[in-house]
Structure 1
Amino acid sequence: MKPLFGFALAGLVLFGSGCSSTITKPEQYSGFLGDYSKLEETMSASGKPVMRWTAPGFDPQRYGSLMVEKPVFYPAQAPSDQLSQETMDKIATYMRLALQREMVGKMRLVGEPEADTLILRPSISAVAVSNEDLKVYEVIPIALLAAAATTAAGTRDQEVAIYAEVEALDGTTGEPVARTVRKGQGLSLENRKTPLILDDVKPVLDEWAKDARDFRP
């Protein structure tokens, strides 16, 4: 094996090709759902892989009304220069509004549970910002050094990932009927000094809300 090719191949093995997993790993579960033992990998209505559990016989059409609780950050995430408390509040508010918006016309929205209410308990496990994965063309020696330099200088593009865990409860019994764990990729930030704003994760929240609307057990 030629040295240059060997170096490039090692770079590919170490850094990957720039594709991030869209499945939340067990070590990334927040504890919000309590029980993760029955989660199974499946596909969302939009064709994205998710971890999900539904109770035997669960039928969303049995419920005529929906109550969406205010999403919480669980565990609590401390604000930073890149992710302010104001932005976190906006993300949580928009997540709830998006879920309510997509359900209009399908279910009656209520503020308190009734006999036919399905309760959604959404949580945001984390909004994580990290260095963008190295691309294939960056694993040759000269480009790899340049990529390392931009990373150290804080000028490298930053990937945004948002994690969510959602539980659906029967409004009469209070028992869980569905649980979902999701991860989504937001818009990339220019560098580690670029503040994250709501618009950077809006597309993910919109997609999740539409998947909730089109959910089929």
Structure 2
Amino acid sequence: MPRSLSLPLLVALCMSLAACAGKTVSPDEYSGFLQDYSQLTEKKLPSGQRVLSWVNPQRDLKHYTRVYIEPSQYYLPLVPTDRRSQAMLSDLSHYYDAALKQELGKVMTVVTTPGPDTLIVRPAIITVSASTQGLRFYEWLPVTLLAAGVSTVMGIRDQDTQITTEVAVLDAWDHEVVAQVVSKGAGLTLKNDKQAMSVDDFKQALDGSALDMRQAYLAHAPDLGPSPLSKQVNH
């Protein structure tokens, strides 16, 4: 291997390995937010998204007709940076809350305080990150491989964004865990490692996460179809 190519090729190899990583959260990425991760299993949802989830077999989801959604939290504090401002992190949390209320409100009554026949949805945002994009198949050609390596070293290569969430679902009466979900979503692509992340970069991922929560609820309570109108009431 020519000496001048060693660094780009090494970087390219690392990028390739990163691109092969799974899209579900691995055990070493668990945050500790959930009570028990041991029973989580991988599920493919109707959207095609793969998540890790568990539903308490002793609880009948058809029993629950109301949902109280707690404000989402950053369980592991994310330090603001030039690329990830405090304002952006706050707005991202508010957007996630709104997305959950929008989707779950289509199949349940969203209430402002817990009560009878109510599920408490406790969401947490675990990671908000960007990493160098993996190699495309055509970039393995010698000339493009060198260019890809140089772009990576200079920080001008595209960046993939990613957001990880964990959600605990509890019975509002006895606070027994009814379900748990861990998911990882892809955001929009950034132009380089200097471009700041924005809420818009993650909206599609969070919308998908909220939709997956609604579809998972319906999958375990099949007799309950979408309500004609989403609604929110004071309880």
TM-score relative to the length of structure 2: 0.83
Deviations 1:141-193 (A, max 9, x none): 32222111111111110000110000000000101110010001111001111
Does structure 1 retain, via aligned residues, the 8 Å contact 2:100–2:210?
Answer: yes
Does structure 2 retain, via aligned residues, the 8 Å contact 1:17–1:135?
Answer: no
Deviations 1:80-132 (A, max 9, x none): 11111111111111111011011224222112210211000000110111000
Deviation at 1:35, TM superposition (A): 1.1
Residue 199 of structure 1 aligns to which amino acid in structure 2?
D
CA distance in 2 between partners of 1:84 and 1:14 (Å) = 26
Deviation at 1:65, TM superposition (A): 1.1
Task: Give the corresponding residue for 2:22.
Answer: 21
Does structure 2 retain, via aligned residues, the 8 Å contact 1:17–1:134?
Answer: no
Residue 42 of structure 1 aligns to which amino acid in structure 2?
K
Return structure 1 stretches of 4+ with deviation > 3 angstroms: 11-14, 16-20
Task: Give the corresponding residue for 1:83.
Answer: 84
Question: For residues 177-216 of structure 1, what are the structure 2 equivalents within 5 Å?
Answer: 177-215=178-216, 216=219
CA distance in 2 between partners of 1:16 and 1:214 (Å) = 32
Task: Give the corresponding residue for 1:3.
Answer: none
Secondary structure of 1:115's counterpart equals coil
CA distance in 2 between partners of 1:34 and 1:103 (Å) = 23
Task: Give the corresponding residue for 1:64.
Answer: 65
Percentage of matched positions with identical amino acids: 38
Task: Give the corresponding residue for 2:148.
Answer: 147
Task: Give the corresponding residue for 2:45.
Answer: 44
Secondary structure of 1:214's counterpart equals helix
CA distance in 1 between partners of 2:70 and 2:56 (Å) = 20
Secondary structure of 1:201's counterpart equals helix
Q: Which runs of 5+ in 1 are unaligned?
A: 1-7
| C-alpha RMSD of matched pairs (Å) | 1.9
Deviation at 1:12, TM superposition (A): 6.9
Task: Give the corresponding residue for 1:167.
Answer: 168
CA distance in 2 between partners of 1:25 and 1:45 (Å) = 22
Shift in alpha-carbon separation, 1:199–1:20, aligned structure 2, 3 A: farther
Residue 181 of structure 1 aligns to which amino acid in structure 2?
V
Deviation at 1:60, TM superposition (A): 2.4
CA distance in 1 between partners of 2:162 and 2:180 (Å) = 20
CA distance in 2 between partners of 1:79 and 1:134 (Å) = 29
Residue 179 of structure 1 aligns to which amino acid in structure 2?
Q
CA distance in 2 between partners of 1:13 and 1:121 (Å) = 36
TM-score relative to the length of structure 1: 0.89
Secondary structure of 2:167's counterpart equals strand
Residue 187 of structure 1 aligns to which amino acid in structure 2?
L
Secondary structure of 2:23's counterpart equals coil
Please identify, of 167-176 and 38-47, the stretch whose mean Cα deviation from structure 2 is larger: 38-47
CA distance in 1 between partners of 2:133 and 2:167 (Å) = 27
CA distance in 2 between partners of 1:148 and 1:14 (Å) = 9
Deviation at 1:13, TM superposition (A): 9.1
Shift in alpha-carbon separation, 1:14–1:109, aligned structure 2, 3 A: closer
